[in-house]
Amino acid sequence: MSYHFEFDSANRILLAWFEGKVTDADLKEYYRTAERYVAATNPSAGVLDMSAVSSLEVSPQTIRELASLPPAFSDPNQPRCIIAPAPKTFGMARMFELQGQPTRPNLHVVRTAKEAWAILGISKPKFEPLEIKV
């Protein structure tokens, strides 16, 4: 598994992060799994951190497919951020943001965690590993 979930219980932020190589299959599996983590934690915001991705092997078609699915967060106004420092990852995240705009109006693609925390209005999140039975 190339992704992990963590939770900041004080701020109720669900963090998912990828590491290493990410493929279409990884991203699709993550998307299905994320829905269960959102249901289990009822977060007020979500962050997907792609900083540790070494290789993004994801097609534009997969990005479009995922953007057309119902969001993992049922409330469209809940803030969510994608941290994507690498140019290719940033471009794919922006494609997802634009394709999913109607159902994810409060999605922000940023290059650093500091930018994400500023958008969410927090300064020092404290994430702890999260494992749920899925």
The string of pLDDT tens digits covering residues 34-56 is 999 999 999 999 999 999 999 99
Q: Which fold has domain 3-129?
A: Transcription Regulator spoIIAA (3.30.750)
Domain spans, the chain:
3-129
pLDDT of 54: 95
pLDDT for 1: 59
pTM over 0.75: yes
CA distance 97 to 92: 9
Percent of the chain that is helix, strand, coil (3-state, to 5): 35, 30, 35
The dihedral through the CA atoms of 66, 6, 19, 47 has a sign that is positive
Residues of the chain with pLDDT under 50: none
Task: State how far the Cα of 119 lies from the Cα of 128, in Å rounded to an integer.
Answer: 21
What's the confidence (pLDDT) of residue 52?
A: 96
Task: Supply the DSSP symbol for 75.
Answer: S
